[in-house]
């Protein structure tokens, strides 16, 4: 039997901030905190700081012996070997044996997974996907991430890298990705970065058309500005979301025909656009589905706060750690 | 314990022919036979004929009591409810409760699944994917089908319809599908039907260029003729395979970034083209993968005879039927 007086530490390593919390069996997070991710180019110093920040929290909840383990979600985090491998948005280059380093420092078992996978597990256990066995989570932030659950399990693939849906090609020969160099991937359009690029392109192409966005210097136009302009009825800004929604909807149709999920759960900063994005997404997803899939797939927004999903999902992996000895 | 003197009937319902055999625990097929699928518009007459053909075979292997059950692979076959639902290439329209009808007639439990799923299970148990936990099977025949295995399990989706990869869009706004009406789906290009269309289009576009294919009446050009011409060095025919291989390779890259399989196994009539198809497929798949996926995924041809894979896979589902009582 699991002790009710047992906790897991959940850690969400993001491109800018690393958030953490102590989680009980009911999925309640306490003793939250965060540190800057890229402050230390030396991974050991990052872990030292994490340790220092977590010590008082661990003491407060009753001490080290009540912590079952530590779960971490991180970009390019690999569940099988506990390494972060070649994460483009982190300062630590190459292969970082994060789970091992954390285990050594904290003297606790540590499981690592991709941040979007962690968020999907969090959503399944405590969020919009409670009770679902088949769903896809799409995170629309600076980039586009994904976590796929099928038959009630996380799809990891043979090497732990499954679920890179942001890098699937949806416009062959289309816009070049700033990081990967690939052309026409979903992330180049449906991420916050992609939305800002689309807005700038439309403003340049339709130079004689009025837009609130023209008062903002080109460099400062971001997805938030586009959203605010669209909310005020700006025609170009509204078309940016139509265009983005069409591409995302077409991509989602392809994903549905892969794993036939009960729901697709959208997550991340971009979903603040609400119906402005969802309506075209829904329309173009349905249009590109075989009849057997139409009007079946639920399109939902995440029910968890952004950092909570990954902290909860990462901590959930801890409960699965087998007791040794 | 399973009795070694126990058999499963495997049935592969194809668009033209329905093949069957009696399978033992080692995956050996005996007493093969086939009937024309669309001879009877009445499904009951089809099942009556199947029964009449199988009676002597069942008698020969030792009688009814040695048959554990019947497994069927069929287009649009649904594992969850045992129905064939709206299969475009079969005469029986709407929803056909095939598993129930077979159970009633044979007085044996019957499991049904999609034909490509059955082939994938067959390949996992007895073919090129033995021992693999994560792979994708792509069937390239008149149409393009697929079966996806992840975590060692068939991905069925919440409704049993997962794995319709032939209908994913790979050329948005591209060639219209003859059946679904959708534009730019993989099947419109990478199926035998699609290859013939590509050849005809190229012959029409490049009217001044010589080709062996010009002696064949347009209506009679099929993928086999294109393959034979290409094997003789015909320039246009060779380019048909280059074009097809590029599109298929790009699609496979997207599939890899979904479930990160150890291998993709190609299957069906079109693979007779061999390297002529495989070389461009490989090239364009690798080109469209993130570095973490490159040079990892095995591209394999099926090791089973075409009808055997589905018969074996369908029969394999029988061993999973739980004994009642």
Residue A69's beta-bridge partner residues?
A8
Would you call A147 helix, strand, or coil by DSSP? Answer: strand
Q: Two tokens at B44?
A: 């009951």
Q: Phi/psi class of residue A89: alpha, beta or left (left: φ > 0; alpha: ψ in -120 to 50)?
A: alpha
The fold adopted by the segment(s) A131-303 is Nucleotidyltransferase; domain 5 (3.30.420)
| pLDDT at site B324 | 47
Contact assignment for B151 to A156 by CB distance below 8 Å? yes
Whose structure tokens read 């590029």?
A: B246
| pLDDT at site B1 | 47
CB burial of residue A212 (10 Å; 0-12, 13-18, 19+): middle
| pLDDT at site A325 | 36
Q: What is the dihedral of CA A124, A128, A132, A137, to 10 degrees?
A: -70
Same-fold call for A7-122+307-319 versus A131-303: yes
Is the CB of residue A319 less than 8 Å from the CB of residue A2? Answer: yes
Choose, out of B149, B150, B152, B286, the residue to mutate when testing the contact with A (most A CBs < 10 Å). Answer: B150
Average pLDDT value for chain A? 93
Q: Two tokens at A241?
A: 């979301």
Q: Is the model's pLDDT at B263 over the cut of 70?
A: yes
List chain A residues with CB under 8 Å of B151.
150-151, 153, 155-156
- The pLDDT-based confidence of B87 (bands split at 50, 70, 90) is confident
| pLDDT at site B89 | 76
CB pairs under 8 A between A and B: 135
Whose structure tokens read 């139509």?
A: A242
Compute the average pLDDT of residues B247-270. Answer: 97
Is the CB of residue A16 less than 8 Å from the CB of residue A34? Answer: no
- The pLDDT-based confidence of A4 (bands split at 50, 70, 90) is low
Choose, out of A173, A258, A296, the residue to mutate when testing the contact with B (most B CBs < 10 Å). Answer: A258
Would you call A207 helix, strand, or coil by DSSP? Answer: coil
Q: Two tokens at A321?
A: 């750690």
Tell me if chain A has a CB within 8 Å of the CB of B134.
yes
Total count of residues recorded for chain B? 325
CATH no., domain B7-122+307-319? 3.30.420.40
| pLDDT one-digit tens code per residue, A234-263 | 999 999 999 999 999 999 999 999 999 999
| pLDDT at site A38 | 86
Compute the average pLDDT of residues A68-89. Answer: 92
Q: Two tokens at B68?
A: 């554990």
**What's the helix, strand, coil split of chain B in %, to 5?**
45, 20, 35
Provide φ and ψ at B274, rounded to 5°. Answer: 55, -135
Q: Which element (helix H / strand E) includes A138? A: strand A135-140
| pLDDT one-digit tens code per residue, A279-310 | 999 999 999 999 999 999 999 999 888 778 88
Residue B70's beta-bridge partner residues?
B9, B110
CATH no., domain B131-302? 3.30.420.40
- For A224-238, B21-35, B79-93, which range has the lowest pLDDT when averaged over its residues? B79-93
Q: How far apart are CA B141 and CA B187, in angstroms?
A: 9
Instruction: Give the sign of the dihedral formed by CA A179, CA A181, CA A186, CA A192.
Output: positive
| pLDDT at site B93 | 87
Local structure of residue A178 (DSSP, 8 states): T
Smallest CA-to-CA distance from A13 within A39, A25, A231 is with: A39
Q: Is the model's pLDDT at A1 over the cut of 60?
A: no
List chain A residues with CB under 8 Å of B292.
76, 85-86, 161, 164
Using a pLDDT cut of 70, give the percent of chain A over it.
97
Compute the average pLDDT of residues A197-202. Answer: 98
Interface of B with A in 292-311 (CB under 8 A): 292-293, 296
Interface of B with A in 140-159 (CB under 8 A): 148, 150-151, 153, 155-159
| pLDDT at site A286 | 98
List chain B residues with CB under 8 Å of A290.
164, 167, 180, 182
| pLDDT at site A232 | 97
| pLDDT at site A3 | 52
Is the CB of residue A117 less than 8 Å from the CB of residue A313? Answer: yes
Would you call A172 helix, strand, or coil by DSSP? Answer: coil
| pLDDT at site A324 | 47
Q: Two tokens at B214?
A: 């010009």
Q: Enter the ipTM.
A: 0.92
Is the CB of residue B84 less than 8 Å from the CB of residue B37? Answer: no
| pLDDT one-digit tens code per residue, B201-228 | 999 999 999 999 999 999 999 999 999 9
List chain A residues with CB under 8 Å of B160.
260
Write the CA distances from A311 to A81, A167, A285, B44, B245, integer angstroms. Answer: 20, 24, 30, 56, 43
Domain extent listing, chain A = 7-122+307-319, 131-303
| pTM to 2 decimal places | 0.93
Q: How far apart are CA B15 and CA B74, in angstroms?
A: 9
Q: Two tokens at B323?
A: 């004994």
Alpha helices (H) along chain B: 43-61, 98-106, 115-126, 186-190, 192-205, 223-231, 235-259, 275-287, 306-319
| pLDDT one-digit tens code per residue, B171-202 | 999 999 999 999 999 999 999 999 999 999 99
- The pLDDT-based confidence of B321 (bands split at 50, 70, 90) is low
| pLDDT at site A266 | 96
Residue B35's beta-bridge partner residues?
B18
Tell me if chain A has a CB within 8 Å of the CB of B291.
yes
| pLDDT one-digit tens code per residue, A49-66 | 999 999 999 999 999 999
Using a pLDDT cut of 90, give the percent of chain A over it.
84
Write the CA distances from A254 to A190, A286, A287, B164, integer angstroms. Answer: 15, 11, 11, 9
| pLDDT one-digit tens code per residue, B17-31 | 999 999 999 899 999
Q: Two tokens at B87?
A: 């299969």
Q: Is the model's pLDDT at A220 over the cut of 90?
A: yes
Bridge pairing between strands A29-36 and A17-23: antiparallel
CB burial of residue B174 (10 Å; 0-12, 13-18, 19+): middle
Beta-carbon-side half-sphere exposure of residue B179 (alpha carbons within 13 Å) = 18
């Amino acid at each position: 039997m699991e002790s009710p007086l047992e906790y897991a530490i959940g850690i969400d390593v993001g491109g800018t901030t690393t958030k953490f919390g102590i989680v009980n069996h009911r999925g309640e997070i306490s003793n939250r905190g965060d540190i800057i991710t890229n402050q230390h180019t030396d991974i050991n110093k990052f872990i030292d700081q994490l340790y220092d920040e977590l010590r008082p929290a661990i003491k407060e909840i009753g001490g080290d012996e009540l912590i079952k383990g530590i779960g971490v979600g991180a970009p390019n985090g690999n569940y099988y070997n506990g390494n972060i491998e070649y994460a483009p948005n982190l300062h630590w280059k190459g292969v970082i044996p994060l789970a091992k380093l954390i285990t050594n420092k904290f003297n606790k078992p540590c499981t690592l997974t991709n941040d979007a996978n962690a968020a999907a597990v969090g959503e399944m256990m405590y969020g919009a996907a409670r009770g679902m066995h088949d769903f896809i989570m799409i995170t629309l932030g600076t980039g586009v991430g994904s976590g796929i659950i099928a038959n009630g399990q996380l799809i990891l693939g043979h090497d732990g890298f499954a679920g890179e849906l942001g890098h699937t090609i949806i416009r062959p020969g289309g816009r070049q990705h700033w990081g990967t160099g690939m052309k026409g991937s979903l992330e180049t359009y449906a991420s916050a970065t992609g939305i800002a690029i689309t807005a700038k392109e439309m403003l340049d192409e339709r130079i004689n058309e009025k837009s609130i966005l023209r008062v903002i210097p080109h460099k400062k136009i971001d997805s938030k500005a586009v959203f605010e302009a669209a909310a005020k009825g700006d025609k170009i800004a509204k078309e940016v979301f139509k265009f983005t929604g069409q591409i995302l909807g077409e991509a989602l149709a392809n994903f549905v025909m892969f794993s036939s999920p009960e729901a697709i759960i959208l997550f991340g900063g971009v979903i603040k656009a609400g119906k402005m994005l969802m309506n075209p997404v829904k329309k173009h997803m349905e249009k590109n589905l075989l009849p057997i899939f139409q009007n079946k797939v639920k399109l939902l927004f995440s029910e968890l706060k952004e950092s909570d999903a990954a902290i909860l999902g990462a901590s959930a992996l801890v409960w699965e750690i087998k007791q040794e000895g």
